[in-house]
Amino acid sequence: MSTNERHVPVMLRRCLDLLAPALAEPGATVVDCTLGLAGHAEALLTTFPAARLIGLDRDPAALEHARERLAPYGDRATLVHAVYDELPDVLDKLGTPRVQGVLFDLGVSSMQLDEAARGFAYAQDAPLDMRMDQTRGVSAAEVLNTYAPGELVRILRTYGEEKQARRIVEAVVRERAKEPFETSARLVEVIRDALPQAVKRTGGNPAKRTFQALRIEVNGELEAVERAIPAAVDALAVGGRIAVLAYHSLEDRLVKRVLAAGAANTAPAGLPVVPERYQPRLKLLTRGAELPTEDEIAENRRAAPARLRGAERVREVQP
């Protein structure tokens, strides 16, 4: 089975529907901030033949694959090696200050999960790497072997929402003193041994939350999301639309906060008429977060935790 056949873009039809009104006009530009295997990007280029696409990814391997997949679209697709919070710099260099659509599909890509050597998946033994861009940054093994115990507890609690963080970290610190961590299988084993039986009987693989926390720390994901969503809203032309797929509550909360703030009026209380500069600059397109259908989850189990939010830019910000 090829990578393309294995890859099913999450909530694809709904993402296309949300962005459609902004991308129908000739000359429209859409940014796929998380290119991955280019499933969403290919659908955008096919569905909106008058649109041009800018694709970003921090993973050189993903970019190489996407370049091959999107080659038939020629110069309609411009692909850039960048993290999504670098969006303003990318648009500046391309001379494209405003765009009509922005799509984020946050989290880890199918390719990264499926390639055992990348160390993202707790179900396969592999080197503990977890860097989305293997050309820079510290690996998950370095985090485990060098961070102070208190810092590791904070990471597991904050990024993994792991209630047993202290117990897991105590076990990790004991084990790393004997021998540094190098592989995912050893970490999974240490986590299993550290947890009470009652905890191990619930909630799937007991290593899941720890792996999520390490991945977020290694890639600086939440900080990048915190910078990227406001930057994407700023880059939208009036009438432009943004769609964001998040996969855990921490990401979704950040997205919700930015979109809700943009959709609120900022006038001081008690004004009889709200001046233009206080009017909302966004209109929400989703009621809360939309979830994948049962059919979508049956087709692609990785869609199960997805939460989709969308908004439209309805006015310029007054200086």
Per the document, the length of the chain is 319
Contact 42, 51 (CB under 8 A): no
Please tell me the CATH superfamily of domain 3-111+221-313, with its number: Vaccinia Virus protein VP39 (3.40.50.150)
Least confident of 40-49, 202-211, 283-292: 202-211
112 is in an annotated binding site: yes
Taking residue 159's Cβ as centre, other Cβ atoms within 10 Å add up to: 20
β-pairing, 282-284 with 307-313? antiparallel
248 is in an annotated binding site: no
First to last CA, the chain: 54
Q: pLDDT digit string (tens) for 118-153?
A: 555 666 788 898 888 887 889 999 999 999 999 999
**Confidence bin at 113 (pLDDT 50/70/90):** low
* pLDDT value of residue 133: 82
β-pairing, 29-32 with 52-57? parallel
Q: Is the pLDDT of residue 1 over 60?
A: no
Contact 244, 308 (CB under 8 A): yes
278 is in an annotated binding site: no
The residue ranges of every structural domain in the chain are: 3-111+221-313, 116-219
84 is in an annotated binding site: yes
| Domain 116-219, CATH class in plain words | mainly alpha
Q: Is the pLDDT of residue 206 over 50?
A: yes
Grouping H, G, I as helix, E, B as strand and the rest as coil, residue 113 is helix
40 is in an annotated binding site: yes
CA 128 to chain centre: 20
**Confidence bin at 3 (pLDDT 50/70/90):** very low
Average pLDDT over every residue of 49-66: 94
With CA atoms as reference, report the closest residue to 169 among 197, 189, 148: 148
38 is in an annotated binding site: yes
Equal CATH topology for 3-111+221-313 and 116-219? no
Q: pLDDT digit string (tens) for 151-173?
A: 999 999 999 999 999 999 999 99
Rg of the chain on CA atoms, in Å: 21
81 is in an annotated binding site: no
Q: Which two tokens stand for residue 147?
A: 């961070």
Contact 31, 94 (CB under 8 A): no
Share of the chain above pLDDT 90, in %: 70
On the CB side of 198, CA atoms within 13 Å amount to 2
Give the whole-angstrom CA distance, residue 173 versus residue 146.
Answer: 10
Residue position matching structure tokens 């993994």? 160
